[in-house]
């Protein structure tokens, strides 16, 4: 797979004769309509308190919704206590978590975006320091009052790197209960008012640990052949789909290539199976099995994971979401126009500019009335744009009189 470069000459300038950019074309998925194709990718906030959502989550989800995105997917929210990556992970393993999550979902919807949530389980990558604290395995401390309950579990008792504490291999008899936990989490996500649900099957976390031969050395029917390694993921999808309403879309995030034995061919095989089970979109990521979930297995540059979305879309005929260093509006539009993906997910660039969707619309020449953002902002921005000549937004150039 090569990096997805966008030719520097590719500039989209919309005039009245041109069709609306695809990025700002609504999209219907089952009973839900996204107002545009810009999706805020799930991002851990490391800010929950014992799994409960805080004001930070409300503010963060809210600013992305108010920035004009069609869909805001809240972070990997853990289906089991054992699945928490850090002390700040968001939880959905008890009904008690529903009200805090519901507050966020309602807030996103009130600001005209569709609320989504990712369900996750960190498996052997649980119980660690936050990334900026070094990300190392935690040690027992007074701060953690349920150390034993926060157990590292995985398909096999293998650590990566080897110096890390080894997880306990899940007994076959335990797996059914764990699958059920995903289903129950989906039920709670629906009760909390989310309209899109994404199963996290990527980045070296539990589902991916079952998929990849690098981390799965089981000799029972959850290990060995490709089909056996897919079994846990397939059962999770089945349990989730059973509890997730039929009119609500279901996404699955995969590390399409992990450079450790699981690759695009296997991902395509899995996508074919889950498509028939009611997965609507494959969110195409990579890596995380042997390194960081954000810096992928392959060479990193603009749109480095787009070829994975293109491959699955073309070969499986399933909708795909592209993610990974999609930074510029014209880049996102080109990915859609070339038929490489159906949705564009943005993570770090919205940390830089939470109003990225609004900004992208201006750059693609649509939404001169700023209807994608709330009225208290739209009114003033539209007025400034139409009434004040010779003033351009800060993202359009480096400074007064300085070209980009």
Ligand X SMILES: Cc1cc2nc3c(=O)[nH]c(=O)nc-3n(C[C@H](O)[C@H](O)[C@H](O)COP(=O)(O)O)c2cc1C
Please identify every residue annotated as catalytic. Answer: 205
Asked if 252 contacts 244 with a C-beta cutoff of 8 angstroms, the reply is: no
Closest distance of CB 53 from ligand X, Å: 14
Q: Which of 35, 44, 127, 319 binds ligand X (CB under 6 A)?
A: 44
Q: With binding defined as CB under 6 A, does residue 75 bind ligand X?
A: yes
Strand partners, 120: 78
- Pick one of 129, 234, 273, 294: the residue that binds ligand X (CB under 6 A): 294
Backbone angles phi, psi at 305, to 5 degrees: -105, 0
Distances (CA, A) of 302 to 134, 254, 296, 373, 389: 26, 19, 12, 27, 33
CB of 41 to ligand X, least distance (A): 3
Indicate the burial class of 177 (C-beta count within 10 angstroms; 0-12, 13-18, 19 or more). exposed
Pick the piece of the chain touching ligand X (CB under 6 A) from 244-252, 272-280, 320-328, 355-363: 320-328
Q: Candidates 41, 92, 119, 256: give the one binding ligand X (CB under 6 A).
A: 41
Q: Which of 102, 124, 200, 319 binds ligand X (CB under 6 A)?
A: 200
Instruction: Count Cβ atoms below 10 Å from residue 356 Cβ, excluding itself.
Output: 25
Binding mask of the shown chain, residues 327 to 346, with x at each position contacting ligand X by CB under 6 A: -------------------x
Q: How far is the CB of 120 from ligand X (least distance, A)?
A: 6
Contact flag: residue 72 with ligand X (CB under 6 A): no
Asked if residue 280 lies in contact with residue 311, where contact means CB atoms within 8 angstroms, the answer is no
> Least Å distance between CB 51 and ligand X?
14
The secondary structure of residue 23, as a DSSP letter, is G
Task: Round to whole Å and give the CA distance between 206 and 122.
Answer: 5
Using CB under 6 A as the binding rule, whether residue 348 contacts ligand X is answered as yes
Contacting ligand X within 234-263 (CB under 6 A): 253
CB 176, min distance to ligand X, A = 25
User: Considering only residues 91-130, where is the footprint of ligand X by CB under 6 A?
Assistant: 118
Please identify which residue in the block is written with the tokens 């936990």. 181
Which of 199/318 has CB closer to ligand X? 199
CA distance 227 to 233: 10
The strand pair at 196-201 and 250-255 is best described as parallel
Nearer to ligand X, 348 or 383 (CB): 348
Q: Are 225 and 210 in contact (CB under 8 A)?
A: no
Binding site for ligand X (CB under 6 A): 41-44, 75-76, 118, 200, 202-203, 253, 285, 293-294, 323-326, 346-349
């Amino acid at each position: 797979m090569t990096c997805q470069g966008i030719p520097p000459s590719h500039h989209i300038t919309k005039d009245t004769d041109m069709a609306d950019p695809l990025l700002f074309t609504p999209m219907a998925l089952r009973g839900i309509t996204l107002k545009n194709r810009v999706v805020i990718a799930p991002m851990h906030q490391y800010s929950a308190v014992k799994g409960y959502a805080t004001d930070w989550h409300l503010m963060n989800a809210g600013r992305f919704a108010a920035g004009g995105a069609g869909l805001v997917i809240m972070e990997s929210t853990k289906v089991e206590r054992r699945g928490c990556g850090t002390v700040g992970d968001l939880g959905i393993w008890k009904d008690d978590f529903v009200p805090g999550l519901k507050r966020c979902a309602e807030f996103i919807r009130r600001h005209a975006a569709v609320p989504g949530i990712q369900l996750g389980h960190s498996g052997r990558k649980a119980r660690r320091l936050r990334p900026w604290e070094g990300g190392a395995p935690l040690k027992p401390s007074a701060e953690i009052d349920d150390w034993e309950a926060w157990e590292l579990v995985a398909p096999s008792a293998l650590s990566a790197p080897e110096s890390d504490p080894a997880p306990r291999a899940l007994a076959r008899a335990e797996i059914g209960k764990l699958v059920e936990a995903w289903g129950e989490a989906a039920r709670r996500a629906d009760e909390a008012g989310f309209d899109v649900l994404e199963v996290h099957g990527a980045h070296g976390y539990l589902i991916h640990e079952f998929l990849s031969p690098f981390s799965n050395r089981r000799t029972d029917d959850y290990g060995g052949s490709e089909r056996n390694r897919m079994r846990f993921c397939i059962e999770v999808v089945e349990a989730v789909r059973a509890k997730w309403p039929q009119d609500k879309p279901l996404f699955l995030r995969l590390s399409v290539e992990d450079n450790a034995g699981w690759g695009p061919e296997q991902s395509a095989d899995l996508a074919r199976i889950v498509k028939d089970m009611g997965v609507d979109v494959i969110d195409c990521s990579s890596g995380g099995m042997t390194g960081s979930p954000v810096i992928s297995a392959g060479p990193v540059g603009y749109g480095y994971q787009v070829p994975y979305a293109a491959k699955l879309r073309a070969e499986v005929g399933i909708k795909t979401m592209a993610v990974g260093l999609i930074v510029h509006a014209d880049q996102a539009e080109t990915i859609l126009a070339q038929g490489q993906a159906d949705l564009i997910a943005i993570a770090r660039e919205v940390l830089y500019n939470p109003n990225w969707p609004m900004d992208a619309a201006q750059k693609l020449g649509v939404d001169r009335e700023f209807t994608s953002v709330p009225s208290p902002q739209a009114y003033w921005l539209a007025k400034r744009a139409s009434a004040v000549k010779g003033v351009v937004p800060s993202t359009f150039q480096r400074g007064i009189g300085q070209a980009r």
